[in-house]
A and B are shown apart, each in its own frame.
Chain A
Amino acid sequence: MREKVIIAEKLTKRFGDFTAVDAISFDVNKGEIFGFLGANGAGKTTAMRMLSGLSLPTSGNATVAGFDVYRENEKIKRNIGYMSQKFSLYEDLTVRENIRFYAGIYGKSSSFIRDKTTAVLQRLHLTGEADKLVKSLPLGWKQKLAFSVAIFHEPRLVFLDEPTGGVDPVTRREFWQLIYEAAAEGITVFVTTHYMDEAEYCDRVSIMVDGRIDALDSPSVLKQQFGARSMDDVFLKLARKAQRTAD
């Protein structure tokens, strides 16, 4: 059996009367690219926040990287990377300073930071821009940089919350290339997205509707199961059942 990086059992989050995430259960294998899909307001971000230690579940259990989300969230934090919906590098710092800052927060040694910075800059073809302010970079480059920063400390798992929002198709493809490379290095990727073509790139996808997971399997099995030609169709078939309106 493959090592599980995330195990969620009936994970639930309620805000007052509103159940944002309703008893979801799933697991994610090591090195897997796990697509976490759902319409706006389906509860994706809330679920992700619980798994990354930003918010406590109301009930249910989950372990991330082998640590309990209730008691060991400090340990979880050391083992995960996170890239949020919002672009989240410091615009008024240079590329190199951003890398050093975030790596420093994770307690990496300066020799590690120095060596890896060189490698990352080369990989992103940003060596020439290393000392430029981040705000001067085009959006696609920023996003790729943000991803590289999120996995700089070599976490076991990285959460990507709609990482490719507003990015052109070419850059999105390049971005996914980075994701594949990370997965090949053994980093598990947990990604939410709106783009159904991206869902096809995932090893397995789950689709959330109204706080519950309605489907979970590899894209090809899901397409068969729903008799659909593309993930887009699968998604639409499920999303039409939704009671909640998008936020």
Chain B
Amino acid sequence: MKNTNANIRIAGFTLAVILGMVGLGFVPPFKMFGMEFESVDILSTLRAEDSMAEAMEDHTADFDLLDMQLAAAEVIDTLPEPIPVRYEWVVEHTANERRQKLRSEDMIPALQQYVYFEDFDTLATTRFDNFIAKLADGQSVRIAFMGDSFVEGDIVTCDLRDKLQRRFGGRGAGFIPSDIPFSTVRKTIKRTSSNWKTYSVMKSKDAPETIRERLFISGYLAEGGAGATTRWQSVGAYPTLDSCTQARILLISRDTSRVEVLLGDSLRKEFTIAGDERVREIHIEGPVDDIRLRVVDGSVMCYGASLEGRGGVTVDNFSVRSNNGHAIFGTSATVNRQIDEFLGYDLVVLQYGLNIMQQGQRGYSKYRDQVRDMIAYAERCFPNAAILVMGVSDRWVKNAETNAYEPIGSVDALTSFQRAAADSCNVVFWETARVMQNHGGMPAFVSNGWAAKDYTHINYAGGKRIATALTDAICYRVFTHLFEREEAARIEAERQAELERQRELEAKELLESQINAVAPIIDSIGWSDKANNRDNNEE
């Protein structure tokens, strides 16, 4: 009898412990001795965690692979080129947009509360300075804005693009994927697509290897056979969005295929894309505000198209939902580098962190290390681009007891870890949360209608505030750049003038001393005016 009890006890005891823990799960969070005790959830250990931590394990930085992929990109580049990488169609030639050189007074700071860039470029790689200099000189500049759902639908970037294009020139909405596996609303472009099979980097496990090995930082790759079609149409939401003069369609055609491109309803051209592993660009100059791509024959993998002007600023929005930035490790460095050869990025923005934040968590050293890897990865893929790390945005959460919203309490901590990552990688950091706090923080955003009621996601109106502040920060750098350059030029001019004066003075003195030296001789010979005069008088 006693033994039977003992035998069953082990199972009964384990069950009782589990039930006890489940019961304790109903104890609400409380504070005692200054420590916060959370509700425990023993069942959570059973739920395979779909937490961020696990999702991030899908893509981890593999720099050896990166090296291999980059080497692959190099090898392809040095091959003799029997197969073109670029297919051109010039409908009407448009000259490069040339801007007048800016002067510092064009850039006089406007806002009171500036959030400046924190430039940690202590190694003087001057990548960011080069970006600013190009803006100041009116050269064409391309920005890759990589982010999460915070900037989905072109939030923030649409206003950033608008403001930069107004100041520094440029047109068009930039890069738009050919297809996205879910429906989104983007007010800066109209895209309709059909018959594609589209894969996302966030679910690259589900994608075939041919796709998985070829993902671009856009995060989406569409594969389609004959009949697959996408139509990109400019919209007039902002004055600089339409009247685009140049389009680039980026695709891979592993076997020879035929695609047709339609501009509007009348202009049509068919391209036979010879089979090759490289990313190819169909480059179109002309009226490209309504452009259609259709696969006629064969099969292509299409990244998307970029609608732009010739010259000025182009801003590409690469938002991938619930990406913490780690998805970049799932993209192909070969593809990134090849596309960079076409588009030439000057700035890569990393806007992440919203999904990684946990209420009250103050340590993010693991994430900091990941941000470092992201920066290193982006630097390697885009060798000419400066990297800008944006701090996490402000976020409030609902208190389960009081039903009131309170600060999540980890924005500052995460921001400081992101800053530390930027610092150690010698790149530029910009504190997004400060901009929001200058406006009164998340509650003010919600009450002004600038953010959703979840106290997490801002809307277009909120994005505009952040875009304004970011533009101001850029303009301030351009201003200081121009000002320093003008100052330097002024000082140089003054120095030159001074030198000139010196030289003239010296020449004069030299002349005078020579004259003084020869005067007595001339006198003695009697050739001087004086002598002549005397002679005349004597006559």
**A and B held together in a complex:** no
Instruction: Give B contacts to A, CB under 8 Å.
Output: none
Instruction: Give A contacts to B, CB under 8 Å.
Output: none
